[in-house]
């Protein structure tokens, strides 16, 4: 696969070096858009945007909770 650089939009450095790619994990568990983004932002927060990424994960989690509550009412 070679080393990734910030120019590599598919395999950026903050997703390299783990035993499983985040996208493979999301696919394997058949996560939806909100769930996938929660995982993505939590996994990368230390190497990329810190608290900003955790806030994004929180936003997606709150949205997932809201949508789940709505769907359970129907």
pTM here?
0.76
With contact defined as beta carbons under 8 Å apart, do 36 and 7 qualify? no
When pLDDT is averaged across residues 15-28 and rounded to a whole number, the result is: 82
* Measured distance CA(65)–CA(11) in Å, rounded: 30
CB neighbourhood size of 26 (10 A): 19
DSSP 11-33: S-GGG-SSSS-HHHHHHHTT--H
Q: What is the pLDDT of residues 24-42, one digit of tens each?
A: 999 999 999 999 999 999 9
């Amino acid at each position: 696969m070679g080393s990734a650089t910030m120019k590599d939009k598919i395999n950026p450095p903050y997703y390299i070096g783990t035993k499983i790619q985040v996208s493979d994990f999301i696919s394997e568990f058949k996560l939806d858009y909100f769930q996938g983004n929660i995982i993505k932002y939590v996994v990368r927060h230390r190497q990329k945007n810190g608290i900003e990424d955790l806030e994004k994960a929180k936003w997606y989690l709150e949205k997932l909770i809201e949508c789940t509550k709505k769907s359970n009412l129907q």
